Amino acid sequence: MYFLNINKPKGITSFDVVRVLRKKLGIKQIGHSGTLDPLASGVMQVAVGNATKLLDYLDSDKEYIASIKFGYVSTTFDEEGEKTFVSKPDFNVDKLIETMNSFLGKTKQIPPKYSAIKVNGKKLCDIARKNPDNDIEIASREIEIYSIELIEFHNDFAKIKVFCKKGTYIRSLVNDIGQKLGCGAYMTDLIRTKAGNFMIEKADLLDSDNYSNLNPLDVLNLSKYELSNEEYGKIMNGNFIGNKGGFINSPILLTKDYKLVSVAILSDNLIKPKKTFKGE
């Protein structure tokens, strides 16, 4: 049971990454915490073995570097779609920064119709590809952007760094920035540079011969408690233990010899096992 920090190459799907890893590692139980589009590259949080049961506990705030082309819109909001000219960009760097900053904090965002979001059990991208003229009603949802930084800007091109909450579509953000500027915009490239505690500087290439196996205890931002022998026996038998650590929030990672034994919750000031892993 461990995690991998994989740098997904551009041009393949997130499922392709999982497929390659299953073949190379000889393990079927592999999952990831968030899809990256084929045209995007960068960090993927990959869980191997029983670590797949811990994906929901990962800190999944994301950081991206996005490249933007102004003056056009795209049906997919990125390089892949059909482009339509809107108008020649006519704004300065101060106006661009002001527009970018208007999206800071909690806002509502409509995801792109070419996405993996499901409507009535079908992926939006599948519906859109079968019938591009189908005006699917897509509900907006709350997102949160913590910071936006302008890295590069000249003529009709910009590069920005975005730190945001999981679930934010950078393609939609770029499209919305273009709309607000009145000239249109689409994303030409996207790199995920950070996801929780997983950073691109420490990511393994997919075609590496060896990967760095990450202990779940090193990547999960949760409280930890080392069990005594007596407490370990109780937890392994599904029993609760006292809250000797004085925890006030759960979940709590219960450990033995720095191996994960259980994800536990607090109830009536008692620590009760929710998922047990036998010290894997």
- Which residue would you say has higher pLDDT here, 107 or 124? 107
Q: Say what the pTM is.
A: 0.87
Query: Where does the pLDDT of residue 53 fall: very low under 50, low under 70, confident under 90, or very high at 90 and above?
Result: very high
Over residues 132-138, the mean pLDDT reads: 63
3-7, 133-137, 272-276: range with lowest mean pLDDT: 133-137
Over residues 60-78, the mean pLDDT reads 95
Mean pLDDT computed over 43-56: 95
Q: What is the mean pLDDT of residues 236-255?
A: 91
Phi–psi pair at 180, nearest 5 degrees:
-70, -30
Closest CA to 33 of 19, 48, 11: 48
Q: Are strands 204-205 and 2-8 parallel, antiparallel or unpaired?
A: parallel
Give me the percent of the chain exceeding a pLDDT of 70: 90
The domains located in the chain, with CATH, are 2-60+197-217 (3.30.2350.10), 63-188 (3.30.2350.10), 222-276 (2.30.130.10)
Q: What is the DSSP string of 79-103?
A: TTS-EEE-------HHHHHHHHHTT
**pLDDT at res. 124:** 54
Residues recognised as catalytic? 37
DSSP string, 128-187: HHH-TT-------EEEEEEEEEEEEEETTEEEEEEEE-TT--HHHHHHHHHHHHTS-EEE
Q: What is the pLDDT of residues 18-38, one digit of tens each?
A: 999 999 999 999 999 888 888
pLDDT tens-digit readout, 177-208: 999 999 999 999 999 999 999 999 999 999 99
Backbone angles phi and psi of 252, in degrees to 5:
-125, 135
